[in-house]
């Protein structure tokens, strides 16, 4: 995919972009589900250049999660879902930044409303592969159960609560809700 067609970029690959000092850099921290179960480790931060903010965490899933059995009948075919199988090497997933909280003291990221089963049944990707708008759509639908979403290339797509970063360490500027890049 050509750079001008890309929607998302790894923060590490963008010169001049970094995590703002008012935000925690969660790369390397573990992600836990709503019950505290380990999902994996935050491997990268994905930014949307048009909005100039981080919108996803790229998580390398834990070995235990990769071994979880896949349930092809989880979503009825009548809902338009198509079967997929996570293949060898597909060991990363994304999670919108607004769907997690951070625990600075213990250096952990917590998915507030998502449990282990949701992560186990999510479509994963191989590290280094460009994230497509189609994958963004499917992933957000999977996490939210919403059927109609805007397209991942539309700026309004990222104006959803799932993409708002609630982690500002220094909340003195309530008008600035940008997500750290």
What secondary structure, in 3-state letters, does 39-77 show?
A: EEEEEEEEEECCCCEEEEEEEEECHHHHCCCCCCCCCCH
CA separation for the pair 109, 81 (Å, rounded): 29
179 or 115: which carries more pLDDT confidence?
115
Name the least confident of 21-35, 128-142, 162-176: 162-176
- The count of C-alpha atoms lying within 13 angstroms of the C-alpha of 55, restricted to the half-sphere facing its C-beta, is 24
CA separation for the pair 60, 101 (Å, rounded): 18
CA separation for the pair 163, 98 (Å, rounded): 5
Our CA dihedral for 142, 68, 71, 141, rounded to 10 degrees, sits at: 0
Task: Report how far apart, in Å, the C-alpha atoms of 34 and of each of 31, 111, 117, 164 are.
Answer: 10, 5, 11, 19
pLDDT of 102: 92
Most confident of 11-15, 32-36, 71-75, 137-141: 32-36
Residue 34: pLDDT band with limits 50, 70, 90:
very high
pLDDT above 70 as % of the chain: 74
- Domains of the chain in sequence order: 3-163 (3.90.50.10)
**Is the pLDDT at 176 greater than 90, yes or no?**
no
* pLDDT, tens only, 74-108: 444 444 444 456 777 889 999 999 999 999 999 99
8 Å CB contact between 95 and 125: no
Average pLDDT taken over every residue of the chain? 80
- CA dihedral over 155, 132, 79, 98, signed as positive or negative: negative
């Amino acid at each position: 995919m050509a750079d001008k067609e890309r929607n998302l970029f790894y923060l590490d690959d963008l010169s001049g972009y970094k995590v703002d000092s008012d935000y925690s850099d969660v790369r390397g921290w573990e992600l836990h589900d709503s019950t505290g179960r380990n999902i994996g480790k935050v491997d990268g931060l994905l930014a949307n250049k048009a909005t100039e903010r981080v919108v996803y965490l790229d998580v390398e899933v834990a070995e235990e999660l990769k071994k979880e059995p896949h349930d092809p009948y989880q979503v009825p075919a009548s809902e338009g879902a198509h079967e997929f199988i996570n293949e060898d090497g597909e060991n990363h997933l994304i999670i919108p930044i607004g769907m997690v909280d951070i625990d600075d003291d213990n250096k952990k990221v917590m998915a507030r409303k998502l449990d282990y089963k949701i992560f186990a049944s999510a479509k994963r990707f191989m590290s280094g592969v460009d994230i497509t708008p189609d994958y963004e759509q499917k992933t957000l639908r999977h996490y939210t159960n919403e059927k109609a979403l805007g397209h991942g290339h539309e700026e309004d797509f990222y104006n959803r609560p799932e993409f708002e970063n609630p982690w500002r360490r220094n909340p003195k500027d309530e008008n600035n809700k940008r997500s750290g890049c």
